[in-house]
Amino acid sequence: MTSVLVKELYPFIARSLDKNSSKFRSNIEKFINDRHSVLFDIAPYDRIYYNQSDIDALYQSLDITEEQVINIMKKCFFWNKPYNPQCAKEPYVEVVMMAIRYYLKNNDRKNAELASVYLAFSGKFYASIHAGIVFPAVAPGKYRTIMDYVVNNMLTDKFDLKKYGTVFNAVREMCKTWLNKYGSEIKGNATDDRIGKIIQQLRDREKAFLKNIGKLFYEAYENRNYLNYETDNLDDEAFRLADNDAASAARFTENTMNYLTSHYVSLDVCNMCKDTNVKATEVKDIIEAILADNKNLPAVRRVINIIICDYLRNYPGGRINSIEFISYSIKPKPNTKDPVLIEMKNTIVGWLDENSPNYRRRRTRIATANSYYKSILTYFVLTINKISKR
């Protein structure tokens, strides 16, 4: 049994990473950013493509060639014979495995996880499982209302997708678990066959993740179960939207929630929400306090949904990523009798009462109270607008 990968390929990749680690990481980050909307979606709606151009970019980031890798891998016992997993014979797969080994040996867990996530979303993993095994006929994005039904009504907390909120987060947690179990072997003196079996473990875990969701999707498809946005979005009759607008509202609501619960509060956005009465740092403190309390999250989702639906009912087919959306949504509506908008205002005022001592002390001055309200509303509006552009 050979150990070519550890003894010969690894030193070759390690020397490259000593010089090119930042370029290697930048390439992975570009891969993630280019596919952000699909990776950070709430379900595996669409294919995540990994093409030859991605492979070329990987080698370029390391300043090596595929031919150099192949010349080393030809010495592996499995090179000229049938071997399972087949993906272990793919040169770029072993390059990334050696990069994971490099970071683990250098006690750099963060970048080991980053490289693992990249491997998990590469062509021989997520892409081939999604398109070749679980959803071979058509991506479920064509039947979004069905997959949305699965996410909202069939997934329980035992599903990582439900627990962690997005495809990316679920796969990242899967990679962490994989590294916890096999990390010591990866950075040890494993044989080529053992490295292959560890690769198989990652692929099998990802296959199980997608197949479990696919099983529920096909069950919902057969039973004609789908999420009816027209009635599920908001109960108030005035908020009934056309199907395409309602579907967009639901999508933007979930994407914004996923962003808010997985990212730090942006001081740059807070700077756009401040005025003479409210400092940017205070806006940041209030938003952080709201999001830190899990009991507030259903109300946050409701406020986001109201903002989006209110715009779309007044501008059917309108673009959430437009300036028009921002100007309409933050425009004061002081005399509104709309019960849903009143509900939204009461929710935000309640958050201010609970989380801002300055607001409680100064709210008797109407202009100041309005400034606080507008600042918090504007933060959510700008965040929705920002996420809709991705």
In 3D space, the residue among 101, 93, 97 whose CA is nearest the CA of residue 70 turns out to be 93
In 3D space, the residue among 350, 389, 375, 390 whose CA is nearest the CA of residue 269 turns out to be 375
Give 267-303 as a DSSP string.
Answer: HHHHHHH--SSS-HHHHHHHHHHHHH-GGGHHHHHHH
In 3D space, the residue among 359, 368, 235, 367 whose CA is nearest the CA of residue 290 turns out to be 359
Quick check: 316 pLDDT over 70?
Answer: yes
Q: What is the pLDDT of residues 340-356, one digit of tens each?
A: 899 999 999 999 999 99
Q: Quote the CA–CA distance of 337 and 103 in Å, as a whole number.
A: 59
Per domain, the residue ranges of the chain are: 4-222, 232-388
Q: Is 158 helix (H, G, I), strand (E, B) or coil?
A: coil
Q: What is the pLDDT of residue 17?
A: 98
pLDDT band at 235 (very low <50, low <70, confident <90, very high): very low
Q: What is the pLDDT of residue 230?
A: 43
Query: 80 Cβ partners below 8 Å, 6+ apart?
Result: none
User: How far, rounded to the nearest angstrom, does the alpha carbon of residue 132 sit from its chain's CA centroid?
Assistant: 22
Higher per-residue pLDDT: 23 or 255: 23
In 3D space, the residue among 304, 291, 298, 299 whose CA is nearest the CA of residue 253 turns out to be 304
pLDDT band at 242 (very low <50, low <70, confident <90, very high): low
Q: What are phi and psi of 352, to 5 degrees?
A: -65, -45
